[in-house]
Structure 1
Amino acid sequence: IAALQDGSDAEDRREFGDPAMLVAALTSHMLGREQTITVAGAEDAEPADGSTPPPDAVHAAAVQERLRAWARKELFTLRLQQSERKTVREGDGVYTLAWDTAKKRPRLSVVDPGFYFPDLPDNAGDSSDYPDTVHFAWEIDGDLKARTKARLRRITLELGPIGTRTLSDTAGERPARVPALADDGSTPLLLPGDTYQPEAGTISRLYPWNDEPSTLTCYLTDAEWDLDDIKADQDVHTLDYRYATFMTRPDGEVLDHLDLQLDFLPVIHVPNTVPEDSHWGESSLSQLMQLFDEMAGTDTDSSLASATTGSPILGIVNKGDSGRRGRGEPQMMHVQPGMVVELQEGGNIITVDTSPQLAELRNKTAELQDRLSLNARMPAVALGTLDPTKAPSGFSIELSYGPMEPLMDSMHLARDHKYQLLLKMVQRLFKAGQHPDWTGPVVDADLMWGTYKPTDKAATLTMVQDAVDKGVMSLETGVKMLVDVGFPIDDIGEEIQRIQKRQFEKARALADATGDSSAVGDYLGIDIDPDPVPAPPPAPNLPGETPPEDDPEDLQPGQQGSGGNTP
């Protein structure tokens, strides 16, 4: 914009990365230190008392571990950073998922939101509506050497009624898909597992994640158009397939309404803010554009003023060598450090001091930065502009994050459901790919955001220790607080078991309170067998009495009874 307005003078404009700094700060604080995939109920898979866990908890723990393994292989954390920077800067982010037959897992891709064109009612629609058709389109420049024209590439995913089976036809002028017919040449064939409903005239399919058959499926189309073939009244949504050239997959499948055998679009649109009345989010920079423009103008003026302050403008009166030129004619000189100028009697050097203007410009910059922190709801400590030597107490820093908490809550609210949907689609794609490890129902999974506030580990450890010892906080809550501030604890349940194994004084108190040694063993995580019941003492053999005869069945081989003639 500056180049269009100012022409070549725009090269003198200074902008020192304030928008990029804000985007980086917002992204890092919104994501937190780490992101964790969790499934509700997985923590009950290993009860502390050693009892048998419920089947739902075992399944939840297994799904949680598989999702985390998929995230590690798919570099989900890297994809998350890549997408969220676009989302914060541009207002929207887009993911796509596709099953990879070679790798046997869903592949996650980040798409530039500028290529995302959903079909919405009247190009608007409720923000909660999920579009039935999504296009991804971009232009491809022509190449004179390769003699190729400029083209438009468009990938379309759309939901539609399940149709009959189709086959790839690459023998014609353009690749296409044709109906698959039976041997009689007129009866269309169905895909394996599909059922024709003659009374409704529809085809239904039971997907492994549904309880009832569905009549919808997702179709994939990937095609190119020469820009010369696109009419003036057409746009991305209304291109004519008669002029399209369909792409072909490496396995030979022509991507002309290819049935993906899914009843959902594997596309996740993530808005940066909670949409008010449209499908789109809002960039975090949109409300700060004027501030950034003012800061760039002030930085430009400061740069120019600093040049004259470092190399001041000098005026020399009666220099002493005016013989070269006519009297009164000004002479330009190049001033450099260490230069000596001989002046005539009454001569003088006049300096133009621009340092006051530079100081005022710097004050103006500080004022704009404060306004930016206020309008962006980002405190100076979060933007990194707070002088560490002037940092207040830790309690004051905690309070300074107050305006930022509603901002983070709003950004997380706009994203939570989208990432739940993404993790649910991952499970469905594993089932669609018939992966042997993915059995059981699809469960709800969440992406938990890490904390963004600076933490005092020593203070948190002391607080947890005092609260647990005094009985006002459970050990489970205390360990979770330690995890939140960054202590290297991988599994909360396992860490609790390790702690309890070493708390012998509390185990003794438990034994005194209950008298149950098995409860003490469960608390310590060891097997404690109760003392065997002592055998009844033998009957006393009083003087003058005849010992009772032993039962022959109770005697061991080679042992004699106590009666008779035994001495």
Structure 2
Amino acid sequence: MGLKQLLIDVWSPLNYKPVYNDGDRGMPHRRAFPEAAATWVPPADERRLAAYKLLAAYDKNQAGELAEFRDGPEARDRREFGDPSMYIEAILAHVLGREQRIVVPGAEQASDEQSAEAKAAARVEELLTTWAKDELLTMRVIQCERKSVSLGDGVYLLNWDPAKRRARCRVYDPGLYFPVLPEDGDADFPTRVHLAWELPEDKVRRLKPRLRRITYELDWIGPATASGITPDGRPVRAPVLTDPTDEAPAQPVLGLGDTIDPASGTILRQYPWNDEPTAYTCYLTDATWNLEDLKYPHDVDSLPLDKARFGTGLDGEVLDRLDLMIDFIPVIHVPNTVPEAEEHWGQSSLLKPLQIFDEIAGTDTDSSKASATTGSPLITVSGRPASNKQAAMTINPGQVIEVGENGRMDVLNTAPMLAELRNHAEYLGDRAATIARLPAVALGTTDPSKVPSGYALEISLGPLDALIGAMRLARAHKYRLLLKFVQRLHIAGQHPDWVGITPLDAEYAFGPYTPADKAAVLTQVSEAFKAGVISLETAVRMLREAGWPIEDIEDEITRIQARRFEDARALADATGSTKAVGNYLGIDINPDPTPPTPQLPPGGPAGEDDEDGEDEEDDEETPA
């Protein structure tokens, strides 16, 4: 009957926007969001793509420009002063913290006396840290996290670069990310993922509007394939076959190292990071279609491959189900919040206070209009001479106006209304901060002199602690997955530094985000360390988290121990080991050889030996 539907999903907080919830269908406005209404976009993703564009418009101060498609030119009168962008930057800074680093558990205890596991952890941490510097990982993380905070989702793509001999990390807009989510299964790990976007017409190169789709898919391992060309000139991949003989026709060739399970007939492959062979691999397809060749009802997951033109890699391999020789999809989706049960998408940090941002924009618009009448007030003059026939006049500085008897001049004072509008804007700002769980101290709008104590400041940061804790929880597993994939790609690429390395669990640790009293932390750490309730490693780590300039915990501990001679003396008394003391101080101690046992001559000044070989006792008292 065409009744309006009530949609409740991750993006339903945007339903109040007429441009987003337009018409009886409750779907986004087609003219405002033409990308979301493309024929190749699945209907389930239309609201998601429109939500991304609407949120990006708020971030770029273009919400009024987007509303013009429905509300007309008057929507451009909206004043937008960057409040949503400020909230995004504040939340992003707190999520990332002051610094980020890669941590492999156990690497801090690596030394000559430690186990092989600790040394392996230190080696993996060193290799990952070097890769992160070469790949500018910190910048990539900032790019992805800003999209995640503002739009609700971020996407990383990893691939092996044979020219640079390292794994490359790229960030994609979530609007290009189309996972094929199973109806009954794990929504966090789809087995097929598409990255798709439209390419505009290129008149210079005589190229029509196109659609490019990059697909990663986990599937059964098949026979080996090689690059080829179809009769019409399209590059494709074809199975590699053996030469036919009189006894047997041509047979498919297995890939290098692949075997066939005699029980099931499946092809198995032993990956270096697995204990047992597996029957799965990841295939890469990079294809392009002319938009005019795509007719409804095709969507991004069911495009006709017979009309596709496959790309070619730098090594000349055709990217048509190219076997990547890995058993995982190197695409990592980073949600901004913990997804709801059986959901895949995160929620933008702007969604909850978005209506307040509209109210703030409306108040700023009214304030701008009121400030015009305050700066140039309306003036009425009564009792003017009859000879002056001018109905309206302009008053300039220093001008003298003659009025008649009992004449008067009145000024319309709009300053109180302007002050009230500004107070209302401050109230709305505080309300938005409360809903977003960003206290004033986190936004930098609090006067430090008005904070009564550090304890009161810590209490005021309680909502922010809960917010950042939940957001970091949603990211922790994703970054462990990213670092695990990086290790596997280097091993699969046979990088010489990674030969013999076993992938280990690694974490991307975000730094502290709240201001810390360094003097108070130093006092706490010193007292706890002297009391013996924390180790030196823990003490140094706490100082680093408080903002002390400690670059490497292990090196700092080595330098500290090299100057603690009293502790070294106590270690020598307790163990009697010169080697242990040398290791503690970080120096090479070569003790003097053990002196020979002294050989005393037979006899001495006390007397001569008797017949039994014993000295005679001298009964006389020896003078002092």
- TM-score, structure 1 normalization: 0.89
Query: Which of 311, 331, 347 is residue 267 of structure 1 equivalent to?
Result: 331
What residue number does 1:8 align with?
A: 73
| 1:372 Cα deviation from its structure 2 partner | 1.1
- State the alpha-carbon separation in 1 of the partners of residues 319 and 599 from structure 2: 89
Query: Which of 441, 447, 462 is residue 402 of structure 1 equivalent to?
Result: 462
| 1:382 Cα deviation from its structure 2 partner | 0.2
Query: Residues 451-490 of structure 1: matches in 2 within 5 Å?
Result: 451-490=512-551
Query: Which of 206, 213, 218 is residue 159 of structure 1 equivalent to?
Result: 218
Deviation digits for residues 437-473 of structure 1 (CA, Å, limit 9, x no counterpart):
1123211111111000012223322332333334444
| 1:3 Cα deviation from its structure 2 partner | 1.6
What residue number does 1:108 align with?
A: 169
| 1:191 Cα deviation from its structure 2 partner | 1.7
Deviation digits for residues 292-351 of structure 1 (CA, Å, limit 9, x no counterpart):
1111111111111111111111112234475445xxxx32x3334343333333322211
Query: Residues 307-346 of structure 1: matches in 2 within 5 Å?
Result: 307-320=372-385, 322-325=387-390, 330-331=391-392, 333-346=393-406
- Look up the equivalent residue of 2:428 and give its one-letter code: L
What residue number does 2:482 align with?
A: 422
Matched, 1:61 2:138: no
| 1:151 Cα deviation from its structure 2 partner | 1.3
Cα 1:223–1:511, aligned 2, differ >3 Å: closer, same or farther? closer
Conserved in 2, the CA contact under 8 Å of 1:137 and 1:236? yes
| 1:408 Cα deviation from its structure 2 partner | 1.0
What residue number does 1:446 align with?
A: 507
Conserved in 2, the CA contact under 8 Å of 1:517 and 1:528? no
Query: Which of 229, 235, 247 is residue 175 of structure 1 equivalent to?
Result: 235
What residue number does 2:591 align with?
A: 529
Matched, 1:36 2:101: yes
For the residue of structure 1 that corresponds to 2:72, the secondary structure is helix
| 1:101 Cα deviation from its structure 2 partner | 0.3
Query: Which of 585, 594, 600 is residue 538 of structure 1 equivalent to?
Result: 600
Cα 1:100–1:511, aligned 2, differ >3 Å: closer, same or farther? closer
- Look up the equivalent residue of 2:283 and give its one-letter code: Y
| 1:495 Cα deviation from its structure 2 partner | 1.9
| 1:533 Cα deviation from its structure 2 partner | 4.9
| 1:537 Cα deviation from its structure 2 partner | 4.4
What residue number does 1:300 align with?
A: 365
What residue number does 2:450 align with?
A: 390
| 1:263 Cα deviation from its structure 2 partner | 0.9
| 1:396 Cα deviation from its structure 2 partner | 1.7
Cα 1:509–1:39, aligned 2, differ >3 Å: closer, same or farther? closer
For the residue of structure 1 that corresponds to 2:543, the secondary structure is helix
- Larger mean Cα displacement after TM superposition, 60-69 or 11-20: 11-20
Cα 1:80–1:542, aligned 2, differ >3 Å: closer, same or farther? closer
What residue number does 1:22 align with?
A: 87
Query: Residues 234-249 of structure 1: matches in 2 within 5 Å?
Result: 234-249=298-313
Conserved in 1, the CA contact under 8 Å of 2:124 and 2:501? no
Identity rate, percent: 55
For the residue of structure 2 that corresponds to 1:137, the secondary structure is strand
What residue number does 1:557 align with?
A: none
For the residue of structure 2 that corresponds to 1:186, the secondary structure is coil
What residue number does 2:139 align with?
A: 78
Cα 1:545–1:420, aligned 2, differ >3 Å: closer, same or farther? same
- Look up the equivalent residue of 1:167 and give its one-letter code: A
What residue number does 2:560 align with?
A: 499
What residue number does 1:411 align with?
A: 471
Conserved in 1, the CA contact under 8 Å of 2:67 and 2:75? yes
What residue number does 1:562 align with?
A: none
Cα 1:384–1:537, aligned 2, differ >3 Å: closer, same or farther? same
Cα 1:310–1:360, aligned 2, differ >3 Å: closer, same or farther? same
- Look up the equivalent residue of 2:84 and give its one-letter code: P
Query: Residues 505-516 of structure 1: matches in 2 within 5 Å?
Result: 505-508=566-569, 514=574, 516=576
- Look up the equivalent residue of 1:52 and give its one-letter code: E
For structure 1, which runs of at least 5 residues remain unmatched after alignment? Answer: 547-567
- Look up the equivalent residue of 2:219 and give its one-letter code: G
What residue number does 1:354 align with?
A: 414
Cα 1:264–1:320, aligned 2, differ >3 Å: closer, same or farther? same
Query: Residues 175-194 of structure 1: matches in 2 within 5 Å?
Result: 175-184=235-244, 186-194=250-258
Conserved in 2, the CA contact under 8 Å of 1:182 and 1:189? yes
- Look up the equivalent residue of 1:341 and give its one-letter code: I
Deviation digits for residues 260-285 of structure 1 (CA, Å, limit 9, x no counterpart):
11111111011111111311111111
- State the alpha-carbon separation in 2 of the partners of residues 378 and 70 from structure 1: 35
- State the alpha-carbon separation in 1 of the partners of residues 146 and 387 from structure 2: 64
Cα 1:509–1:208, aligned 2, differ >3 Å: closer, same or farther? closer
- State the alpha-carbon separation in 2 of the partners of residues 515 and 424 from structure 1: 41
What residue number does 1:370 align with?
A: 430
- State the alpha-carbon separation in 1 of the partners of residues 604 and 200 from structure 2: 117
Query: Which of 200, 207, 210 is residue 148 of structure 1 equivalent to?
Result: 207
- Look up the equivalent residue of 1:158 and give its one-letter code: E
Deviation digits for residues 234-269 of structure 1 (CA, Å, limit 9, x no counterpart):
111111111111112233221111111111111101
What residue number does 1:197 align with?
A: 261
| 1:426 Cα deviation from its structure 2 partner | 0.4
- State the alpha-carbon separation in 2 of the partners of residues 146 and 500 from structure 1: 67
Equivalent residue pairs, number: 535
What residue number does 2:494 align with?
A: 434
Conserved in 1, the CA contact under 8 Å of 2:230 and 2:236? no
What residue number does 1:133 align with?
A: 192
Cα 1:431–1:386, aligned 2, differ >3 Å: closer, same or farther? same
For structure 2, which runs of at least 5 residues remain unmatched after alignment? Answer: 1-65, 610-624
- Larger mean Cα displacement after TM superposition, 174-183 or 404-413: 174-183
What residue number does 1:381 align with?
A: 441
- Look up the equivalent residue of 1:223 and give its one-letter code: A
- TM-score, structure 2 normalization: 0.81
Query: Which protein has greater RCO, CA pairs closer than 8 Å, 6+ apart?
Result: 1
Deviation digits for residues 65-87 of structure 1 (CA, Å, limit 9, x no counterpart):
00000000000000000000000
Cα 1:451–1:321, aligned 2, differ >3 Å: closer, same or farther? farther
- Larger mean Cα displacement after TM superposition, 411-420 or 188-197: 188-197
Please give the root-mean-square deviation of Cα atoms over the aligned residues, in Å: 2.4
| 1:389 Cα deviation from its structure 2 partner | 3.8
Conserved in 2, the CA contact under 8 Å of 1:125 and 1:279? no
- State the alpha-carbon separation in 2 of the partners of residues 260 and 175 from structure 1: 18
| 1:492 Cα deviation from its structure 2 partner | 2.1
For the residue of structure 2 that corresponds to 1:237, the secondary structure is coil
For the residue of structure 1 that corresponds to 2:497, the secondary structure is coil
Conserved in 1, the CA contact under 8 Å of 2:153 and 2:333? yes
For the residue of structure 2 that corresponds to 1:238, the secondary structure is coil
| 1:529 Cα deviation from its structure 2 partner | 3.0
Conserved in 2, the CA contact under 8 Å of 1:38 and 1:448? yes
